[in-house]
Amino acid sequence: MRILVATRNRHKLDEIRAILKIPGVELVGADEVSGLPEDVVEDADTFEGNAIKKARELCAASGLWTLADDSGLEVDALGGEPGVRSARYAGEPSNAEANNARLLRALAGVGNRVARFRCVLALAAPDGRTWTVDGRCEGRIGLAEAGCGGFGYDPLFIPDGQWLTFAELPAAEKNRISHRGAALAAAAQAWGDWLKP
Ligand code: IMP
């Protein structure tokens, strides 16, 4: 059985393949299937909504079972912002440095720095059914950027139980505790058995 993974990001595809190992299931990236739309507009107001929209549109275009993800950062003191707008928090085009600077400005003088990364994975079947699983990584926003690994908000995010940011931790440690890792583990548990041919 082939499952389309709704991403053109090679790194994401490899990470998903490494964790979601289901015997008899081949995970193919969007670049390996012809006739797919270049981009899906992510205009829903929840991670679930965007992940389902991506999965459904690429499932309809390909006729294949399709897996899609949407992720971002939620900050409690900002009412969950930047949330689904994480990639473009400081405006278009997406710019991680500007996003981090805006986040630090928004939290200047704020004591409650509780935050979490979230990742929602949606699985769409050609007959119209859809399922989702959710992964989270709880933590807090640092007072200044630290570290140069990772991407996005990593230099500002300190996961619970750590003094270092995601950008300072080794990649393997980040992957072990990350929201994406948690969502993929939940997907393997929830869907692994019945996706086996
Ligand atoms: P997407 O789900 O790949 O579209 O990610 C949306 C945005 O959320 C990214 O552009 C980042 O700003 C942020 N984000 C998601 N996951 C991470 C992460 O693991 N580290 C840092 N930022 C992330």
Give the domain range for residue 66.
2-195
Give the three-class secondary structure for 41: coil
Q: Name the token pair of 155.
A: 């230099």
Question: How many domains does the chain divide into?
Answer: 1
Give the three-class secondary structure for 73: strand
State in Å: Cα 151 to ligand 1 middle.
8
Respond yes or no: is residue 193 known to be catalytic.
no
Ligand 1 atom closest to 151 (CA): 21
pLDDT one digit per residue (tens) for the chain, 197 residues: 999 999 988 878 988 888 888 889 999 999 999 999 988 999 999 999 999 999 999 999 999 999 999 999 999 999 999 999 999 999 999 999 999 999 999 999 999 999 999 999 999 999 999 999 999 999 999 999 999 998 999 999 999 999 999 999 998 899 899 999 999 999 999 998 888 77
Question: The domain that contains 100 carries what CATH number?
Answer: 3.90.950.10
Q: Name the token pair of 34.
A: 């012809």
Pocket of ligand 1 (CB under 6 A): 69-73, 86-87, 94, 117, 150-154, 166, 178
User: Which of 169, 122, 105 lies closest to 16, judged by CA?
Assistant: 122
Ligand 1 atom closest to 47 (CA): 2
> Catalytic residue among 39, 70, 134, 193, which?
70
State in Å: Cα 127 to ligand 1 middle.
30
**By the 8 A CB rule, do 183 and 133 touch?**
yes
**By the 8 A CB rule, do 113 and 165 touch?**
no
The long-range contacts involving 144-152, CB below 8 angstroms and separated by at least 24 positions, are: 144/104, 145/100, 145/104, 149/174, 150/174, 151/96, 152/73, 152/86, 152/87, 152/96, 152/99
User: Which protein residue has the closest C-alpha to ligand 1 atom 5?
Assistant: 71
